[in-house]
Chains A and B, each alone.
Chain A
Amino acid sequence: MKGLLRVMSPFAPDQSGAASVFYDMNAITVICDAGGCTGNVCGFDEPRWQKNARPIFSAGLRDMDAILGRDDRLVDKLRLVSDKSDADFAAIIGTPVPAVIATDFKALKKMASKRCGIPVVTCECTGTNLYDKGEEMAYLELMKTFTRDMDVCEGRVGVLGATPLNFSDIEADKLIRKHYMEEGFSEVLVYGMGDGLDSVRMAASCEMNIVVSASGLAPARWLKKNYGTPYRVECPFAGEAAAKAAGVLKHSKVLIVHEQVAANSLRDAMEDCDVTVATFFTLDKNIANEGDVLVETEAQFIELVENGGYDAVICDELLRRAVKDGTYGIWINRRHFAVSGNLEEGLCEL
């Protein structure tokens, strides 16, 4: 049955992805919910929160707010916070409640910007989609609202798609910066991790963008279309991870189940293996190989693993629960925080 999970747990939802992008942006982030979604975002999907809490708020919606559509009350509450804050902007993120009552986010954005006197961005998340959709929506909303035409600055590179949900590491941005500085860039802007709104404002000045996870594809394309910025798609560190796997998996038939860009990069580095990439998240046809799989149900995943004839499966170890333990070859853990909610101890670990 579609949507029925008997052995797996739900993955990080779109509102968690959107909140993750805004986390380091000096924003007032308001999750338009009754409280539970905020609890999930902060208490489970945002690993930076325990160490470094940010101004994230729940709208604290109650039944009559939803039934009567009292957006004005939400704006009043936001103003109480924004009046005393030097945040660069406010971000309002949707959840199932506004989705059910069909909140007009465009109107909400306009009304809140006017009343609060600061820029407001909105992400029409529904809680039914996955985190990468929320990240994509947040990047696009930021770029469309704040990025302005600028001269290209040689040596400056933008990184799209770096969040703890993708990289399972709260300091991935540092490693990413180091990686691309060593490659020869003089300035690395990691949107949403470590870099604030200024990086978004000057996104058009990058000589190149690097898409490190699938959520960065759409904003990279938007930046290319509007400002001509070229981009390339790759997940750094995959080579080292693959090298570790290589000793075990020579000439094997391998299934990699992960976020698409990470999985692709791992495959690229495992030249002597026959690798299929599968993902529960975005499968962009433009960067997929023939035979790559978009997994839409738990049953499909089980079928793929049990009957695919793979010698090895590389994925977050939580997914192993779905199949009969130990029956289907070698399992190698490649953390994916959006799946298990567990952090990687080191990015290159397998």
Chain B
Amino acid sequence: MNKQDAFYITARDLADGGIEGVPSELKSQDHLIYSSPAALSFNSPGAQGFGVKRAGLAVPGSVMLLVAPACCGRNTTMLAELGSYADRFYYLLQDDTDIITGRHLNRISQAVKDVADFHEESTGTRPNVVMICITCVDALLGTDMDRVCRKASEYAGLPVLPCYMYALEREGRVPPMTAVRRTVYQLLEPREKKSTTVNLLGHFAPLNDDSEIYELLRGIGVKKINEISRCEDFDEYLGMAEANFNIILNPESRLAAEDIAKRLEIPSVELTRMYRIDKIRKQYQLFAGAIGAKIDDSKFYDEAAAKVEAFARENKGKRVAIGECMNADSFELALAMSEYGLTVTEIYGTVSAERMPYIKMLAELSPETRIYTNLEPSMLYYDSSELPCDLTIGIDAGYYHPDAPNVPWNLEVQPWGYNGLIRLIEEIEGVL
């Protein structure tokens, strides 16, 4: 291939143009999607974390039947080698005729029953639910999965739910990861509410055990904090229906929260993961106001503030490149790092209207920051020697600058709040 430059735009130019002026190169629908290791989590979310298939198994005691051409289940071989998933994936493979005629639909009920019986025979436990994962094929065939699942449920005598792995609709109204977040709570049924119970929605792995949010919630009288990933069994999962309110920790759970509010009358409040210490504090204050409680976070704030101060002193001017394959919003984290005195040289991120406020603030602090997207074809020609850096955050940023110290920051257990900020700083200090 010819040598050319990878496309980027500076924070200043991007902010000046506003959302209407975002160049075509930064819009994934306008070009082919380059497949590099840095873009893997876009093309295949399940390759490095929770995609639809793994997420669908968040319900305790669930198994999954993937109804798809063989290619859609190929990378699940990798998941099947993980201990906790080895006996939970089953496949009903579609052939050429199935994908044209939809005749596979006639086999699903029997397949669900076979899978449930086999699972019971081999593990001694009947599944609590069979998740049917379907793909682009059924999206195009217009399969009525609610009906298919109802029929299979009646035939097999256990709950059956659909998981929509519709990659074709990833930028649509209900993207696959949003849909699956709704699905995993659909077995909850109305229960008497307990004013001291709260659900945390949004992730398929828990927050770090020492996140301050647990202590702060207990401080306002919450006795039980539910997370689907911490539910030991199906009964505990069903107990999530007793919550007084839900806290949304990931915007992709908004639809789930709406659904729960409608069906179970549990209201929700949304919190955002941030790394700017003053914004973390402000958010806790707003949260306290919203629920009519008083939250004293000074102990945690003071600890984080001391950490930030030392970090900023030690690392002022260090050059950092920030990716998007990590547990942070690229632009919010870039803004935080700029506020702490580091020089953000590059961001590999996805520009959206929701991120424009961060981009505008970043343009004030660091106008020359280069903004790339992992997905644009010219990233084939990215040359890290053009703008070296002292640190990278995110596994994609690490891919572009293999010689710079890297903090992947993408563990499944989720960082949050002051604790997340402190952990990030400690990880950075560990590699610098």
Interface residues of A in 192-221 (CB under 8 A from B): none
**Nearest-CB distance from A119 to chain B (Å)?**
16
In the assembled complex, how far is the CB of residue A259 from the closest CB belonging to chain B, in whole angstroms? Answer: 16
- Asked if residues A57 and B94 are in contact (CB atoms below 8 Å), the reply is no
- In the complex, what's the smallest C-beta–C-beta distance from A283 to chain B, in angstroms? 18
A19-34 CB mask vs B (1 if < 8 Å, else 0) is 0000000100011011
Q: Does A226 contact B (CB under 8 A)?
A: no
Of B32, B104, B140, B167, which is in contact with the most chain A CB atoms at under 10 Å from its CB? B32
Q: How large is the interface on B (under 10, 10 to 19, 20 to 34, 35 or more residues)?
A: 35 or more
In the assembled complex, the Cα of A129 lies from the Cα of B97 at a distance in Å of 12
Q: Is the CB of A45 within 8 A of B74?
A: yes
Contacts of A81 in B (CB 8 A): 31-32, 377
CB of A17, distance to nearest CB on chain B (Å): 11
Expressed in whole angstroms, the Cα–Cα distance for A56 and B78 within the complex equals: 22
Query: In the assembled complex, which residues on chain B have CB atoms less than 8 Å from the CB atom of A230?
Result: none
Counting CB contacts under 8 A, is A84 at the interface? yes
The DSSP consensus for interface residues of chain A is: mixed
Expressed in whole angstroms, the minimum distance between the Cβ of A320 and any Cβ of chain B is: 13
With A10-B77, A38-B33 in contact, is A84–B169 under 8 Å at CB? no
Q: Is the beta-carbon distance between B71 and A127 smaller than 8 angstroms?
A: yes
Tell me whether A57 and B71 are in contact in the complex, defined as CB-CB below 8 angstroms, given that A3-B92, A10-B77, A35-B42 are known contacts.
no
Within 8 A of A (CB), among B129-168: 135-137, 139-141, 165-168
A63–B169 touching, CB < 8 Å: yes
Known A-B contacts A66-B140, A126-B96; A80 and B170 likewise in contact (beta carbons under 8 Å)? no
Interface contact B165-A36, CB-CB below 8 Å: yes
Of the residues B33, B44, B94, contact of A43 by C-beta under 8 Å = B44
* Of A3, A13, A63, the contact of B139 (CB 8 Å cutoff): A63
User: Looking at chain B's contact residues, is the secondary structure mostly helix, strand, loop, or mixed?
Assistant: helix
Residues of B within 8 A of A5 (CB): 90-93
How near does chain A come to B79, taking the closest CB pair, in angstroms? 9
User: Do residues A126 and B75 form an inter-chain contact, with CB atoms below 8 A?
Assistant: no
- A43 pairs with B75, CB closer than 8 A: yes
Check if A327 is an interface residue, CB within 8 A of chain B: no
- C-alpha gap A77/B29 in the complex (Å): 10
Q: Are A4 and B90 in contact (CB under 8 A)?
A: yes
Least CB distance from A110 to B in Å reads 19
Q: Does A1 contact B (CB under 8 A)?
A: yes
Contact of A57 among B4, B32, B80, B110 (CB under 8 A): B32
How far is the CB of A70 from the nearest CB of chain B, in Å? 11
| Bound Cα distance from A238 to B171, whole angstroms | 49
Query: Which B residues are CB-close (under 8 A) to A77?
Result: 30-32
* Known A3-B94, A9-B74, A42-B35; further 19 A-B contacts with Cβ < 8 A: A1-B114, A3-B95, A5-B91, A10-B91, A35-B170, A36-B135, A37-B72, A38-B43, A43-B75, A56-B35, A77-B30, A84-B2, A85-B2, A100-B141, A126-B69, A127-B72, A130-B70, A318-B77, A340-B77
Taking Cβ atoms with an 8 Å cutoff, the residues of B that contact A are: 1-2, 4, 28-37, 40, 42-44, 47, 68-78, 80, 89-96, 98-100, 104, 107, 110-111, 114-115, 118, 135-137, 139-141, 165-172, 375, 377-378, 380
Question: A residues near B, CB below 8 A?
Answer: 1, 3-6, 9-16, 26, 30-31, 33-45, 49-50, 53, 55-63, 66-67, 77-78, 80-81, 84-87, 95-97, 99-101, 126-130, 318, 340-341
| 3 closest cross-chain pairs (CB), A and B | A39-B44, A39-B43, A127-B71
